[in-house]
């Protein structure tokens, strides 16, 4: 629960910084400033140590790992990547197209010459990375080959080799995997450029407390959604195309619509705020007050005969909680999209179970109300918990968001 709080605060700061930059780009008469800030805020040429307060949606595109030799690295669970041990590793320079794509994004590129291509970026949670752009062969298990363990090798994949890194929250991860929407830096777009395969990707999260905690991430043509999967369009927002927008219109509990205000999820064309994005960097889904209030009231009404009135609130804004009952059969929750399709949340995604400070097992409704003070640009963020035990597909070539309930 503490980690959820840290992640929530970090994402809030990132969104706040992004919307400030976005508004600046919309209202500035200086074309240079507008071009720089439209990707989420310019990082000026400042010492590396100061970078950790900056954030940029463009950072969502770039994949990076910690690399030896490290000038400054945090502890991770796997050995830090040593380029000398990888025969396919090459450093890029200003003659390389991927390097030039990085340098074209002013919030990431830090200059390139005939021997080196520098990058630098930061995230709102205090994470930062500085290093150089490299390429190497990436190996993937061929999902179409069954359980034979066949691998597919993709040479020439671009990524950041971080030699000065900090991580803003306690972690053991090796780096960040960039999956942003529709730019050359992201992993999916590299698949398209290098192999001619679809930039689509799909994943399936197992429930938090599953044992083993399984799940998977798939790239390429095999990730494309079958025609019988329910789906809804991915919206391309010109100001912030790195995010995955969907057109949500209402919530469904059981077989009843909640009836949120008709315009509550609209995008404000004046300052480019509002809308609904899918972003699993947020653990719990966050909803604007005008939609959250009727949604919460409808949920309490639907479960009051089963659970009674909500009790003591949980940590970090989780305000709808109960002592965990021995047997729980709760109504389903669905997200209704403009094309009429409904994403039904799995039973695991409708409850967040934890042990409180008094060693009491408790259960919270896993949605958060967006605070009035927050300048977060989205009206709703669909987070990771809402997608547990659901195969989720991002077909970025055809602008389709699809899903299928399944065990991961």
pLDDT, tens only, 107-166: 788 899 999 999 998 775 678 899 999 999 998 887 666 556 678 888 999 999 999 999
- pLDDT score of 180 more than 60: yes
Q: Region 324-331: what's the mean pLDDT?
A: 80
Distance separating alpha carbons of residues 257 and 365, to the nearest angstrom: 18
402 - beta bridge partners? 231, 393
pLDDT at 327: 64
pLDDT recorded at residue 213: 62
pLDDT at 82 over 50: yes
> pLDDT category, 211, cuts 50, 70, 90?
low
Mean pLDDT of the region 282-289: 88
Q: Comparing C-alpha atoms, which of 1, 330, 59 is closest to residue 180?
A: 59
Q: Which residue has the higher pLDDT, 97 or 105?
A: 97
pLDDT for the residue numbered 173: 83
pTM, 2 dp: 0.79
Compute how many other C-beta atoms are within 10 angstroms of the C-beta atom of residue 122.
27
pLDDT tens-place string over residues 385-400: 999 999 999 998 899 9
Summarize pLDDT for 336-355 with one digit per residue, the tens: 999 999 999 999 899 888 88
> Which residues are CB-neighbours of 141 under 8 A, at least 6 positions away?
149, 150, 151, 152
β pairing state of 64-66 and 151-166: parallel
Q: Who has greater pLDDT, 43 or 99?
A: 99
d(CA 368, CA 376) in angstroms, rounded, equals 13
Q: Which of the given ranges, 38-52, 59-73, 166-180, has the highest pLDDT on average?
A: 59-73
Read off the DSSP letter of residue 29.
S
Q: Are 375 and 171 in contact (CB under 8 A)?
A: no
Q: Taking Cα atoms as reference points, which of 104, 57, 383, 374 lies closest to residue 243?
A: 57
pLDDT of 40 > 50? The answer is no
Residue 97 has pLDDT above 80, yes or no: yes
Report the percent of the chain where pLDDT is more than 90. 45
Query: pLDDT band at residue 12, thresholds of 50, 70 and 90?
Result: low
Q: Where residue 45 falls among pLDDT bands split at 50, 70, 90?
A: very low
Which strands form 244-246's sheet, in the order they lie side by side?
Answer: 215-219, 201-205, 390-395, 400-405, 231-235, 244-246, 276-278, 380-382, 285-287, 367-369
Between 239 and 84, whose confidence is greater? 84
Look at residue 150 in the predicted model and tell me its pLDDT. 73
pLDDT for 1 beyond 70:
no
Q: Which residue has the tokens 């972690």?
A: 171
pLDDT, tens digit, 9 for 90 and up, residues 216-231: 888 888 899 999 999 9
Which is higher by pLDDT, 262 or 49? 262
Q: What does the pLDDT read at residue 8? A: 54
Mean pLDDT on 236-260? 86
**pLDDT class of 241 with cuts at 50, 70, 90:** low
pLDDT in the model for residue 205: 87
CA-to-CA separations, 100 to 94, 106, 116, 240, 330, in angstroms, rounded: 6, 11, 11, 21, 52
201, pLDDT greater than 70:
yes
Task: Give residue 229's pLDDT.
Answer: 96
pLDDT at 89: 97
Query: What pLDDT sits at residue 192?
Result: 82
């Amino acid at each position: 629960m503490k980690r959820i709080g840290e992640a929530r605060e970090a994402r809030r700061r990132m969104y706040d910084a992004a919307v400030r930059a976005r508004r600046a780009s919309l209202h500035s008469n200086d074309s240079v400033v507008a071009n720089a800030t439209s990707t989420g805020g310019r990082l000026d040429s400042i010492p590396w140590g100061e970078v950790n307060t900056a954030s940029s949606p463009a950072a969502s595109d770039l994949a990076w790992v910690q690399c030896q030799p490290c000038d400054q690295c945090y502890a991770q669970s796997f050995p830090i990547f040593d380029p000398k041990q990888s025969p396919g590793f090459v450093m890029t320079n200003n003659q390389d197209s991927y390097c030039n794509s990085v340098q074209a994004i002013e919030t990431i590129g830090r200059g390139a010459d005939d021997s080196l291509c520098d990058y630098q970026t930061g995230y709102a949670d205090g994470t930062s990375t500085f290093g150089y752009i490299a390429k190497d062969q990436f190996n993937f298990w061929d999902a179409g080959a069954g359980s034979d363990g066949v691998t597919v090798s993709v040479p020439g994949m671009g990524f950041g080799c971080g030699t000065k890194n900090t991580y803003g929250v306690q972690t053991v991860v090796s780096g960040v995997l960039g999956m942003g929407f529709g730019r050359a830096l992201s992993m999916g777009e590299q698949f398209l450029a290098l192999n001619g395969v679809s930039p689509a990707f799909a994943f399936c999260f197992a429930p938090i407390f599953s044992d083993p905690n399984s799940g998977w991430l798939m790239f390429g043509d095999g990730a494309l959604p079958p025609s019988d999967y329910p789906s809804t369009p991915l919206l391309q927002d010109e100001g912030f195309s790195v995010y995955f927008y969907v057109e949500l219109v209402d919530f469904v509990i059981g077989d009843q619509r909640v009836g949120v205000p008709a315009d509550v999820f609209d995008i404000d064309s004046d300052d480019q705020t509002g809308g609904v994005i899918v972003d699993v960097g947020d653990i719990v889904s966050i909803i604007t007050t005008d939609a959250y209030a009727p949604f919460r009231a409808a949920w309490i009404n639907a479960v009051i005969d089963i659970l009674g009135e909500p009790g003591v609130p949980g940590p970090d804004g989780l305000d709808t909680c109960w002592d965990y009952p021995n047997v729980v059969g709760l109504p389903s929750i669905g997200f209704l999209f403009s094309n009429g399709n409904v994403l039904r949340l799995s039973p695991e995604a409708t409850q967040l179970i934890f042990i409180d400070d008094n060693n009491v097992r408790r259960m919270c409704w896993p949605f958060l109300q967006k605070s009035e003070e927050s300048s977060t640009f989205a009206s709703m963020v669909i987070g990771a918990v809402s997608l547990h035990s659901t195969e989720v597909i991002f077909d970025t070539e055809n602008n389709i968001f699809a899903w299928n309930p399944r065990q991961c």
